[in-house]
Structure 1
Amino acid sequence: MDRRPRLNDRFWIRRLRRWHAVTWVVLGLAPSTIGLLNDSGAPKYWSLALLAVLGGCYTAVEAFPGNPVVRPRTFLYVLVVGVGAMAALPGGGAALFLVSLPHFWVFGTGPRQAIVFSGAAAAATVTGSTLGHRWDEEFFTGNVVFTLTGYAVGALLGLWVHRVLQQSDERVGRLSAELESARRRLAEAHRREGAAEERERLAREIHDTLAQGFASIVVLAEAARAHLGSEPAKSTQQLLSIEHTARENLAEARVLVGSAPGSAVAAGTVARTLRRTLDRFAEDTGLTVSAELPDVECDQQTRIALLRCTQESLANVRKHANASTVGVVLTAYPYGVELEITDDGRGFVVEESHGFGLDGMRRRLAELGGDLTVTSSLGDGTRVLAMVPTNGQV
């Protein structure tokens, strides 16, 4: 898990450290410096020099955080010595120690180091404050009490803040783990969904191409065998149709397995493609086929969709309709292309039909933004209307 602060976290960290620096200067260094202005003698200058050293070290640590020479731990050592010395010099005392307490938690590597360094600073401050005083009379001066109290409160407050931040990090870690787990589950769901869609697509393609072709081969083979002795010429024609259908199936199989660049079944205009299919159907079945197929410009996907709808409808006519006449009308409109296929067969109840073919046609057209309308009733034949939008390009 990436534990680096996010951009927003870094922004707030920088702002907090900036405010802490301002607070330390305004409430720590500045009052000590101002208090020394009216003093005189060598201690005054020692105090001012020491304050300058503390300010310079802090500035160096903040300005060069990656420099191996200017280390935060070195600054903490200087700060411990500095607050202790200032407690013994004019202008110093518990106030500077209290204002400096956050430094030990900001620059320390953990709670233990922060407590140790701040304790050392407290001891140094107490020692500096008691220099020159009698231990049995004035040990517990105001500076000493404030220093010890501030150290205790600072340690408790620092531990509490550290614990809060630790719990926050743990929550962030749990949320990150949950997010990563959810991401993996989502990716797996997308993978399964993609695999299911691909299986559905392959099943539809196999049904519309290979399965229909094999069904035609079976029907033609049965008819050729029945007429083999009595009508050899007709049997020969049917055998030629079987060969042609088998070659088409072989080409489609190569496309499906990816060994061929694309299907050539829908090559040319949609009218020419549908005309070839209808001629083959009429030749194989002997049914009367009427067609109105004007030249309509459409893309490859639309041609294939209309061809598959025609093949599926003709296959249903051959297997179920017991029809004598089939009509096919292709019409171009400003909003798209419509293909109407009708037959005078026995018909069926549309609501009771749950075949794969009709559902496959609907899904294929829906992928292109089109739709399929099937109208039929028992004894009245069937009407299939496929519409594919062309975005005004007809």
Structure 2
Amino acid sequence: MLQRPQRGDPFWIWMLHWWDVMSWTITGLLAVITVVGDTPGTAKYGSLALLTLLGTCYGVVRRRPGNPVRGAYSYLALLVLILGGLAYLREGFGVLYTLTLPQFVIFANSLRSAIVYSGLGAVAITVGGSLREGWNTDVLTTNTISSLAVYAVSILIAVLTPRALGLRDERAQLRAELKSTQLSLAEAHRLQGAAEERERLAREIHDTLAQGFASIVALAEAARSGLETDTEKSAQQLRSIEQTARENLAEARVLVGSAPQSGVAPGSAARTLRRTLDRFAEDTGFTVTADLPDIECDQQTRIALLRCTQESLANIRKHAAASAVDVVLAQQAFGIELEIIDDGRGFVVEESQGFGLNGMRKRLAELGGELTVTSSVGDGTRVLAMIPTNGQV
């Protein structure tokens, strides 16, 4: 059964819909004219009864919750009989056959059924009109020709409608697939965004809180072992623990959104790195040599340089067994370079799966930069971070 057309349906479907609406509008007007006109009693009340029966059955079958196919064909059979009866009772009411042509498509579930029932409607109005006018060859011939012309239109409607319905269904399927794709894409973007945010938070926690706690543990162990032999150094280490804990607290507030986003105080890159290196030398006793010119860079670049330095120093403290560290910050034509070299035991770079190195690479990649790690067992390690400036990549 043809449903109410939706936005985007073919023109033919909309035309059938409005044709059907128009047919009931005209049918209503004919009923009003019949009521107020001077139609003879039998024709008047008979035609009103048939029109009322037709409208009632139409409304019932369109909303019938039972078997829609059987109800539709029952309605079509009734429609054929009512058309014949109206053509017999009233002159000019045969036009209702033309008006009701869409109904033979609306209520039929196949092309064959639509053509057969529409043909029966043509026969009904031909017979009804001929009986009303007096049955003779001339009247029958005239009515037959007129009915056949309208029947030809009904066949055209029945043939074209399935094609329009197929196009409508195809468009509806495409719209459904497009909507499904859009929903899937939106979900994929949401999941990707959530994954990227988790990765960013994991990197920030590793580069700030985790490194800070590792430093606190190392300092606490050193302070405890020197409490009886070197109280002054232990006191200094306790102060470092306090300072590191305060910094971790500040970083934690940043991560939960209650402090400025960067978590790094404003200042030049050289001064920021110098403070970090001084703390490292004080806490570890390593010899730290630094060449840190005061270069110009934005806040994101300065944070990236600081995080790379913190991660490199943490790796040197935990893994390198080094005694000296050299740090060089340089402004090159293509960007900013940060080089960190230790004299430790080195490692095989290809075998390293550490989160820290991967985190540095991703952090630099977000700024268009790159990380180069050079090392071999027994020869120390060289970490080179490059960040392009002035839009260079």
TM-score, length-scaled by structure 2: 0.70
Q: What SS does structure 1 have at the residue aligned with 2:382?
A: strand
Note the 1:1-394 alignment, pairs <5 A.
Answer: 4-6=6-8, 73-74=24-25, 111=106, 135=136, 137-141=137-141, 143-391=142-390
CA-atom RMSD in angstroms? 4.0
Relative to structure 1, the CA distance from residue 124 to residue 344 in structure 2 (aligned partners, 3 Å threshold; closer, same or farther) is same
What displacement does 1:239 show?
A: 0.5
The Cα offsets for residues 320-345 of structure 1, whole Å up to 9 and x where unpaired, read as: 11111111111112322111111111
Question: How far apart, CA to CA, are the structure 2 residues paired with 1:365 and 1:378?
Answer: 26
Deviation at 1:133? 8.1
**Contact 1:76–1:104 (CA under 8 A) maintained in structure 2:** no
Give TM-score scaled by structure 1 length.
0.70
Report the 3-state secondary structure (helix = DSSP H, G, I; strand = E; otherwise coil) of the residue aligned with 1:274: helix
After TM superposition, give the deviation of residue 362 of structure 1 in Å.
Answer: 0.4
- Within 2, Cα distance between the matches of 1:72 and 1:219? 91
How many residue pairs were aligned? 323
Residues 149-177 of structure 1, C-alpha deviations (whole Å, 9 max, x = no match):
33333323323323333333333333333
Per-residue deviation, 1:269: 0.8
Long gaps (5+) in structure 1:
18-60, 63-69, 82-96
Using the aligned pairs only, state the percent identity: 59
Query: Following TM superposition, by how much is the alpha carbon of 1:127 offset from its aligned partner in structure 2, in angstroms?
Result: 7.8
Residues 349 and 375 of structure 2 are in contact (CA less than 8 Å); yes or no, is this contact kept in structure 1?
yes
CA offset at residue 379 of structure 1?
1.2
What CA distance in whole angstroms lies between the structure 2 residues aligned with 1:187 and 1:275?
Answer: 45
CA offsets per residue over residues 274-325 of structure 1, 9 Å max, x none? 0000000011111111111111111111111110000000011111111111
In the alignment, the residues of structure 1 paired with residue 123 and residue 220 of structure 2 have an alpha-carbon distance, to the nearest angstrom, of: 104
Q: How far, CA to CA, are the matches of 2:248 and 2:352 in structure 1?
A: 27
CA distance in 1, matches of 2:294, 2:121: 95
Task: Return the alpha-carbon distance in structure 2 between the equivalents of residues 147 and 383 of structure 1.
Answer: 99
SS at match of 1:326: strand
Counterpart Cα distance in 2 of 1:3 and 1:385: 66
- The alpha-carbon distance between structure 1 residues 370 and 139, as it changes in their structure 2 partners (threshold 3 A), is same
1:346–1:380 Cα contact (<8 Å) kept: yes
SS at match of 2:296: coil
C-alpha deviations, 1:229-280, integer Å up to 9, x for none? 1000000000000000000000000110112223443421111100000000
User: How far did 1:187 drift?
Assistant: 2.0
Whichever residue aligns with residue 347 of structure 1, its letter is G
- The secondary structure found in structure 1 opposite 2:194 is helix
Look up the equivalent residue of 1:184 and give its one-letter code. Answer: L
- The amino acid across from 1:5 in the alignment is R
Q: Which amino acid aligns with 2:385?
A: A
Of the structure 1 ranges 230-239 and 124-133, higher mean CA displacement relative to structure 2 is found in 124-133
CA distance in 2, matches of 1:127, 1:3: 34
Q: 1:374: Cα distance to partner?
A: 0.7
SS of corresponding position for 2:379: coil
- Give the secondary-structure state (helix, strand or coil) at the position aligned to 2:341: strand
Tell me if structure 2 keeps the 8 A contact 1:266–1:307.
Answer: no
